């Protein structure tokens, strides 16, 4: 078998096999049960003491959400201040200047919402200080924030009737100390062994084989890359992200980093089943997501390995597949798999340039982000699926004439209103943003954003808003996006795309948990069956198809047909 295909299958198998034990462990962490990391108890008690947190205090869903929003508001000011002033701060051996206010706004919000859309180049746009105390800090705490929100939902749904959904601060602290930090340490050590730099020295000047001088950036890369992947953050230490040889040195690190992107989102699905003791339901959710992900990977790998007809027409051999924008040391299959993995999650890191992938692979990447719930971001991906579950329960209940219930709680008009608003906000942000930008670009041909005309130019703008709304962060890099318009427009889309869904989803869970528990009976619509899972899949695909097909037809599909 082709070694590239073997690598893809090996990685897929490692993800599926290890997701269940990790999910079971995550459920134990949030339930507060004994685990092998209990020696960290004194550290956590110290954090609670310093921050004035009472870990025994239970919160209702409103207190839980207000705590989440308050800490994020604090980080917003923290990030804006440090990014604007980084030129005057320590750990800046290369003398990088402070960011402009609009770029700081975009960078700060982008990292604060777990997106990591980067309108700057990592090694020149930031200092070591801001890499560590803005970027890396946010990569831990924002991932933990999403996981804590999901833990609150699990607690709400796992109880029969309750007014409280746990303590946000405890869930967030445990997410960092017991899940993200240990995994990041293990991955970081493996990266250092394989050649990823970990130092505070400035740029090195070396002489190349041709006798030219080359300046090589380095820094604490191995500290940042693991959490970049495990927290589905995606912001590269270097501008070219994981296609840079120091950020992703070889085939092993490529598999390790790509595995790290998806392992926690996959495990969170099992964590839900273990937490609420509904393993069969989580198995069906996992199956739906896995089928969608695997189908996308198979499609994209075949597209990229078959090569580009247009380039073949120029007389350039396509034996290795479509290699434009890809690293020879990684190959077309691994690049296609990474592209799909990074877009089914809210990661957004890249090991090849998505702008250069074949049009239909680009379409699949956009579709993954537009659907935004095939595993998705850590915690929030499952929460997006939960919104569609509520809609599917309601529609199925109406279709078969049964009261819509989910885990023993009636789904009523209020939950449906919130779920509908959450689901429709996503296409609204993407399509309105793309429409306004396309209108501005068509009215001023010298606007300077678009390096590609016609269908591909529209795809670049559509991709940028899709990536921002899905909090993904990858980009079709042909777009000139470091301008005040793009920095502020995508900044607003980023902040809207993150918090409105979280507030809505936690509210739905909290409101359901407040209701009287109804024991399952023969008249209950079962949600842990293949039929219901197919129904949920259909709801997701129909909503996505109806919302996005016209825009995709004008972008990547027209691009494909015009080749």
Partner 1 sequence: MNTMILCILLCALGVLCYWLYFKCVDWFEKI
Joined tokens for residue 459: 């795809």
Longest CA–CA span in the chain (Å) reads 79
**Per rule CB under 8 A, is residue 447 in the interface with partner 1?**
no
**Per rule CB under 8 A, is residue 66 in the interface with partner 1?**
yes
Decide whether 123 or 481 has the Cβ nearer to partner 1: 481
- The minimum distance between CB 275 and partner 1, in angstroms, equals 23
**Per rule CB under 8 A, is residue 280 in the interface with partner 1?**
no
Cα distance between residue 380 and residue 13, in whole Å: 24
Angle CA 366–387–143, to nearest 5: 65
**Per rule CB under 8 A, is residue 133 in the interface with partner 1?**
no
Cα distance between residue 218 and residue 128, in whole Å: 10
**Per rule CB under 8 A, is residue 73 in the interface with partner 1?**
yes
**What is the DSSP annotation of 233-286?**
----SSTTGGGSTTTS-SHHHHHHHHHHHHHHHHHHHHHHHHHHT-HHHHHHHH
Binds partner 1 by CB under 8 A, chosen from 145, 495, 535, 544 = 495
CA atoms within 13 A on the CB side of 161: 7
**Per rule CB under 8 A, is residue 84 in the interface with partner 1?**
yes
**Per rule CB under 8 A, is residue 452 in the interface with partner 1?**
no
Cα distance between residue 248 and residue 327, in whole Å: 11
Joined tokens for residue 120: 């700057």
**Per rule CB under 8 A, is residue 65 in the interface with partner 1?**
yes
Phi first, then psi, for residue 352 (nearest 5°) are -150, 170
Total of chain residues touching partner 1, rule CB under 8 A:
30
**Per rule CB under 8 A, is residue 503 in the interface with partner 1?**
yes
Q: How far is CA 313 from CA 307, 434, 563, in A?
A: 11, 33, 11
Binds partner 1 by CB under 8 A, chosen from 473, 504, 555, 556 = 504
Joined tokens for residue 310: 């247009």
Decide whether 248 or 471 has the Cβ nearer to partner 1: 471
Decide whether 320 or 488 has the Cβ nearer to partner 1: 488
Query: Is the dihedral angle over the CA atoms 370, 383, 293, 136 positive or is it negative?
Result: positive
Decide whether 180 or 429 has the Cβ nearer to partner 1: 429
- The minimum distance between CB 111 and partner 1, in angstroms, equals 13
CB 296 within 8 A of CB 227: no
Decide whether 84 or 91 has the Cβ nearer to partner 1: 84
**Per rule CB under 8 A, is residue 425 in the interface with partner 1?**
no
CB-count exposure of residue 46 (10 Å: 0-12, 13-18, 19+)? exposed
**Per rule CB under 8 A, is residue 414 in the interface with partner 1?**
yes
- The minimum distance between CB 496 and partner 1, in angstroms, equals 7
Cα distance between residue 218 and residue 247, in whole Å: 10
Decide whether 203 or 515 has the Cβ nearer to partner 1: 515
Cross-strand partners of 254: none
**Per rule CB under 8 A, is residue 109 in the interface with partner 1?**
yes
Scanning 21-29, 58-66, 313-321, 330-338 for contacts with partner 1 by CB under 8 A, the matching segment is 58-66
Decide whether 76 or 252 has the Cβ nearer to partner 1: 76
Decide whether 156 or 181 has the Cβ nearer to partner 1: 156
- The minimum distance between CB 506 and partner 1, in angstroms, equals 9
Cα distance between residue 310 and residue 235, in whole Å: 32
**Per rule CB under 8 A, is residue 499 in the interface with partner 1?**
yes
Decide whether 80 or 333 has the Cβ nearer to partner 1: 80
Cα distance between residue 169 and residue 465, in whole Å: 32
Residues in the site for partner 1, rule: CB under 8 A? Answer: 62, 65-66, 69, 72-73, 76-77, 80, 84, 100-102, 104-105, 109, 414, 417-418, 488, 491-492, 495-496, 499-500, 503-504, 507, 511
């Amino acid at each position: 078998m082709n070694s590239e295909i073997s690598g893809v299958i090996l990685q897929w198998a490692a993800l599926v096999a290890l997701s269940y034990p990790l999910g079971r462990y995550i459920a134990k962490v949030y339930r507060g049960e004994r685990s092998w990391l209990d020696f960290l108890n004194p550290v956590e008690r110290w954090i609670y003491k310093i921050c004035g947190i009472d870990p025994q205090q239970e919160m209702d869903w409103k207190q839980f959400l207000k705590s989440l929003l308050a800490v994020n508001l604090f980080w917003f000011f923290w990030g804006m201040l440090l990014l604007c002033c980084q030129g005057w701060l320590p750990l800046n051996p290369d003398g990088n200047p402070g960011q402009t206010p609009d770029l700081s706004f975009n960078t700060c919000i982008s990292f604060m919402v777990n997106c990591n859309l980067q309108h700057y180049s990592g090694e020149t746009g930031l200092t070591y200080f801001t890499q560590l105390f803005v970027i890396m800090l946010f990569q831990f705490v924002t991932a933990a924030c999403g996981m804590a929100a999901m833990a609150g939902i699990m607690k709400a749904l796992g109880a029969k009737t309750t007014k409280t959904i746990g303590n946000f601060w405890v869930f967030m602290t445990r997410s960092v100390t017991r899940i993200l930090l240990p995994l990041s340490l293990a991955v970081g050590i493996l990266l250092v062994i394989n050649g990823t730099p970990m130092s505070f020295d400035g740029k090195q000047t070396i002489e190349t084989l041709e006798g030219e001088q080359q300046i090589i950036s380095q820094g604490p890369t191995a500290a940042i890359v693991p959490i970049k992947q495990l927290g589905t953050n995606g912001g590269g230490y270097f501008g070219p992200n994981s296609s840079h040889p120091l950020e992703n040195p070889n085939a092993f690190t490529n598999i390790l980093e790509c595995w790290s992107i998806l392992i926690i989102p996959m495990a969170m699905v099992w964590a839900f089943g273990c937490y609420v003791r509904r393993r069969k339901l989580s198995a069906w959710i996992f199956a739906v997501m896995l089928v969608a992900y695997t189908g996308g990977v198979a499609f994209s790998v075949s597209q990229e390995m078959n090569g580009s007809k247009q380039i073949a027409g120029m007389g350039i051999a396509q034996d290795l597949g479509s290699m434009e924008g890809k690293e020879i040391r990684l190959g077309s299959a691994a690049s296609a798999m990474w592209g799909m993995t990074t877009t089914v999650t809210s990661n957004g890191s890249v090991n090849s340039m998505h702008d250069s992938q074949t049009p239909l692979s680009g379409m699949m990447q956009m579709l993954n982000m537009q659907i935004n719930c095939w595993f998705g971001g850590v915690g929030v991906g499952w929460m997006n699926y939960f919104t569609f579950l509520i809609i599917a329960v309601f529609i199925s209940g109406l279709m078969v004439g049964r009261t819509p219930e989910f885990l023993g709680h009636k789904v009523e008009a209020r939950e449906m209103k919130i779920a509908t608003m959450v689901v429709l906000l996503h296409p609204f942000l993407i399509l309105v943003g793309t429409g306004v930008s396309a209108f501005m670009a068509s009215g001023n041909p010298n606007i300077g954003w678009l390096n590609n005309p016609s269908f591909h130019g529209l795809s670049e703008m559509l991709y940028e808003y899709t990536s921002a709304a899905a909090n993904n962060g990858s980009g079709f890099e042909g777009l000139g996006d470091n301008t005040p318009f793009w920095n502020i427009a995508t900044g607003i889309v980023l902040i809207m795309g993150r918090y409105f869904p979280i507030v809505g989803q936690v509210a739905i869970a909290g409101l359901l948990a407040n209701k009287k528990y109804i024991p399952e009976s023969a008249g209950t619509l079962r949600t842990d069956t293949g039929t219901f899972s197919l129904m949920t899949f259909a709801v997701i695909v129909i909503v996505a198809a109806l919302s996005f097909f016209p825009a995709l037809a004008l972008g990547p599909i027209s691009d494909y047909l015009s080749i």
